[in-house]
A = this chain, B = another copy of it.
Amino acid sequence: MVKIQEFQQIINELIESQDFKKSPSELYEPICYVMSQEGKRLRPLLTLLACDLFDGDIQKALYPAMAIEVFHNFTLVHDDIMDNAPLRRGKETVYKKWNSNIAILAGDTMFAMAYQYAVKTDPELISEILGVFSQAAIEVCEGQQLDMNFENIEQVTIDDYLNMIRLKTAVLLGASLKIGAIAAKADIQSVKDIYEFGIHLGIAFQLKDDLLDAFGNEQKFGKKSGGDIVANKKTYLYLKARELANQQQADELSLLYKSQPEDPAEKIFKVKEIFNLYGIEGYVLNVMEEYYEKSLGFLDAVNADKGKKDALRTFAAQLYHRVH
């Protein structure tokens, strides 16, 4: 716990010390706006924790960690355009507050900035770190594309969905850890194991997100529940319900997922009624636990000090048990 707080502080201070206020202001103001919003900043934390796990020098992982956070924020700026999302972290999104063109360009600039940070490390590490970073960046784009595809495809399987969230969400958590491990010069097998820890934890994390979106306490979760239902997102919940439902209810679900009512309350209620009828929450909890347990198995396999693994174990538990 002490490690987590210490590293969080280091990351926050590094981000706050950056000078994003450059010219032209039309380009950099949105970047300041995004980077000054305190998100969870989970990814750079994972990088530092992984570096520390293998007794690495945190300084070598610090800017690559920053790169990952800037990259992650860039993806949100572009995703919000694609998803027409008006709000993010309770604030107006960049494309909404300014416009799409500025959001495209500010995002592009952040992507280039991320690479500027990524190379600020031991020169002999740069090639490997950038390889992981670019590969993850491409896979995140592939995941976003699949997510968009699913809006127009009727037959999405649960495996398709799990693959999509692996790419869109889990890969970057895996890469964050992997880059920290590389910075610490961990052995090859441990680098693989810590990556798989991140992949499996990331999938559990996204499933939890889906669950909280439908069944979370609105006040604790910080946003209206049912957002995925309103947006007709084919999440694990929906796909499992479609799989289990009888013909009539499967048809009803499909129909509800084609509607976009002005007041979505009734739609949300009806969909959740079907979810409840088939005990979908339980199914999600089960598959989530499966991924969570697998992730811990990979962490166990890592060749590192048992005590030091506790920080990552605590981190994983916090993600797993979070209520928002």
B115 touches A130 (CB 8 A): yes
Q: Is A108 an interface residue (CB 8 A)?
A: yes
Please, which residue of chain B has its CB at the minimum distance from the CB of A146?
Answer: B24
- Segment from A137-145, A182-190, A255-263, A286-294 that makes contact with B: A137-145
A24: contacting residue among B101, B102, B113, B145, CB under 8 A: B145
Within 8 A of B (CB), among A101-141: 101-102, 104-105, 107-109, 111-113, 115-116, 119, 123-124, 126-127, 130-131, 133-135, 137-138, 141
Residue of B nearest to A133 (CB): B115
Considering the complex, give the chain B residue whose CB is closest to the CB of A164: B24
Contact (Cβ within 8 A) A145 B108 = no
Complex-state Cα separation, A107 to B100, whole angstroms: 15
Complex partner residue of A108 from B78, B124, B149, CB under 8 angstroms: B78
Instruction: Name the contact of A145 in the complex, choosing from B27, B138, B149 (C-beta under 8 A).
Output: B27
Query: Which listed residue (B112, B124, B141, B146) contacts A134, Cβ 8 A?
Result: B112
Decide if B149 touches A24 in the complex (CB within 8 Å): yes
Q: In the complex, how many angstroms separate the beta carbon of A157 from the nearest chain B beta carbon?
A: 15
Q: How far does the alpha carbon of A116 sit from the alpha carbon of B129 in the complex, in Å?
A: 11
Top 4 A-B pairs ranked by shortest CB distance? A112-B137, A27-B145, A109-B141, A82-B101
